Copies of this chain bind each other. A is one copy, B any other.
């Protein structure tokens, strides 16, 4: 498989805290410290001559509706050539810690709107990342009732929009089976550094980097 990103391409990471990872909002090109940054950094060190620009507009705590609200500014206006999205775990989490759920229809409506605008207004390529969860601490197990249907929605949209798909939830489950979930994501939601590196490698392979 050849490299997806051509010379001068702009690649946008969108998502929540897992993508955000403490990025500095005052800086338009700060990438945080997570998988997005790791993947972008590795790519940039290996292919300096491609001069690919990576942007991160992940916002901690964001849900799909937040992406919708800031899509004009945080996606369309940036004119990316590729958009990578990892969103959904907070649509789930808020239901459990704040009693503020995102109904599945709304989740799908939000997510589809994001993709539709990317396709219709930008014609950009899409990389959809599977939301994931590991069962630590114990209460995370209850969240599956809300998360699992949302994973299905993302898969469904990936097929509908012909997106590349990164099946993070299964990758984490397989890695955790013979090690432990805490090793990969201590709170079940936010990957450890090993977890972010695991994600970065899967993401890089999806876009054609031989790592």
User: Which residues of A come within 8 Å of B, CB atoms?
Assistant: 21-22, 31-33, 37-38, 40-42, 44-46, 48-49, 128, 130, 135, 141, 144-145, 148-149, 151-152, 155-156, 158-159, 162-167, 169-171, 173-181, 183, 192-198, 200-201, 211
Contact = CB atoms under 8 A, between A and B. Distances in A.
A105 B144 CA distance: 15
A45 B149 CA distance: 27
Contacts of A162: 177-178
Given A31-B193, A48-B179, 10 more contacts: A22-B33, A38-B41, A38-B197, A41-B196, A48-B194, A135-B155, A155-B176, A162-B178, A167-B167, A167-B171
B33 A37 contact: yes
Contacts of A198: 45
A173 B165 contact: yes
B180 A174 contact: no
Contact of A40 (B152, B180, B193): B193
A193 B135 contact: no
What are the nearest 5 A-B pairs in CB distance? A170-B170, A33-B33, A148-B148, A167-B170, A44-B194
A171 B45 CA distance: 12
12 contacts: A22-B33, A33-B37, A38-B38, A41-B193, A48-B175, A135-B152, A144-B148, A145-B148, A148-B148, A155-B173, A155-B177, A165-B177
Nearest to A163: B177
Given A37-B33, A144-B149, A145-B149, A177 B197 contact: no
A130 B159 CA distance: 21
Given A32-B33, A177-B159, A170 B130 contact: yes
Contacts of A169: 170
B194 A177 contact: no
A156 B135 contact: yes
A12 to B, nearest CB: 15
A109 to B, nearest CB: 16
Of A32, A37, A49, A155, most buried by chain B (CB within 10 Å of CB) is A155
